Amino acid sequence: MTTERTAPAGKRTHIGRRLLPARVAPANLIERLALPGAWLALVIVFGALRPTEFLTAGNFESIFGSQAVLVVLTCGLLIPLTAGDYDLSITGTLMLSQMMLGVLQAQHGWALSTVIPLCLATGAVVGSVNGALVMVFGIDPFIVTLGTGTFLQGIVLWISNSMSFSGISTDLVNVVVVDRFLGIPLEFYYGLGLCAVLWYLFEFTAMGRRLLFVGRGRDVARLSGLRVGRLRWGALVASGVISAAAGILYAGTTGSADPTSGSSYLLPAFAAAFLGATTIAPGRFNPWGSFVAVYFLVTGITGLSLLGVRSFTQDLFYGGALVIAVTLSQLARSRAAHESGPRGTS
């Protein structure tokens, strides 16, 4: 005779090797949907205040089509964050990848089929160096990636001679911003697709579960037989590759390579990652939460701009959002850890 064990609302139950969600309590459902609800509220408020400017197809096409680089960059950041590490070199990698396209393709005429794989390989090298310094020498990843990112910015200024380069191939520009589907540039769908891939990785693969396990408790993960160092190293390599892809997307978006503009993405990426950890799957860094967070933030900034608020609002909005998001994310993670305390398995 077998018996069934029912988990309390909001908990999770183990079935074999799978971790399946149990019934979600109303309070938890509200928390999961709070940020999407706030995003909808922003749309309603700004739509009511500026209907002829905000509620237009062109404005929404601009909102959705302008943030693909940030979505991709944030997705790259999510992987080491899930494993419990920071990667502050993401914008340095983005700028280096973008500048390689500007120098090699726009200035020297190299083919995109050669430069793009070279950019991605460079991102992998950056991630490998970060991983080696963290794993082999035991240096804090915050310090390592901060130094690496600054070093990469120096390389970008050196190889560009502090100059911008225009003339990125129209083959790249076309498939990023010129070609559209439903009126929205294709780059939006690249970011959407990457979010779907990461969601599948985190939710339905052993690799994703191992990364989450490592991020929740490295000592326990190590005692459980996981190769913690290899997983953390691999997360930094993946972050480097995706950051380089964001640089390629950035070059296709602007049609040029600028040695400094990419650095402005660092704060928004962290704000989106931590704010995203408060929604959809509260307490966990998750791609759909970050996707919503990116567009929630840009909707707020766009609406405030239409209201005539001065340009420094963007820094106030992103900085304030990051502080609030980190606080709420930490509270959500603490509660999730408490709720997933010792319990039986069936």
pLDDT (tens digit per residue) in 265-315:
998 999 899 989 888 888 889 999 999 999 998 888 888 888 877 666 667
- DSSP of 150-187, one letter per residue? HHHHHHHHHHHTT--EE---HHHHIIIIISEETTEEHH
In terms of Cβ atoms closer than 10 Å to its own Cβ (0-12, 13-18, 19+), residue 214 is buried
Q: How far apart are CA 128 and CA 18, in angstroms?
A: 31
Q: How far apart are CA 141 and CA 147, in angstroms?
A: 10
Q: How far apart are CA 250 and CA 70, in angstroms?
A: 9
Q: Which residues contact 44 (CB under 8 A, 6 or more apart)?
A: none
19: part of which helix (H) or strand (E)?
strand 18-21
Q: What is the pLDDT of residue 314?
A: 67
pLDDT in tens, the chain (346 residues): 444 444 444 444 343 344 444 455 666 777 788 888 888 988 998 899 888 888 888 888 888 988 999 999 999 999 999 999 999 999 999 999 999 999 999 888 899 999 999 999 999 999 999 999 999 999 999 999 999 999 999 999 999 998 988 889 999 999 999 999 988 999 999 999 999 999 999 999 999 999 999 998 898 999 888 999 999 999 999 999 999 999 999 999 999 999 988 888 998 999 899 989 888 888 889 999 999 999 998 888 888 888 877 666 667 767 776 677 667 666 666 665 665 554 433 3
Q: Provide the 3-class DSSP secondary structure of residue 100.
A: helix
HSE-CB at 83 with a 13 A cutoff on CA atoms is 28
Of the chain, the percentage scoring pLDDT greater than 70 comes to: 84
The tokens of 115 are what?
Answer: 């430069």
Tell which residue, 74, 256, 288, 109, has the closest CA to residue 192. Answer: 288
DSSP-derived letter for residue 264 is: G
Q: What is the pLDDT of residue 15?
A: 36
Q: How far apart are CA 135 and CA 189, in angstroms?
A: 35
Tell which residue, 267, 269, 247, 245, has the closest CA to residue 258. Answer: 247
Over the range 187-204, which residues count as b (16 or more CB within 10 Å of their CB) and which as e?
Answer: bbbbbeebbeebbebbee
Q: What is the pLDDT of residue 282?
A: 83
Backbone angles phi, psi at 184, to 5 degrees: -110, 135
Q: What is the pLDDT of residue 51?
A: 87
The CA angle 22-326-324, to the nearest 5 degrees, is 105
- Sign of CA pseudo-dihedral 303, 34, 276, 202: negative
The tokens of 44 are what?
Answer: 């309603």
Work out the number of other CB atoms within 10 angstroms of the CB of residue 26.
9
Backbone angles phi, psi at 166, to 5 degrees: -100, 175
Report the first-to-last Cα separation within the chain, whole angstroms.
14
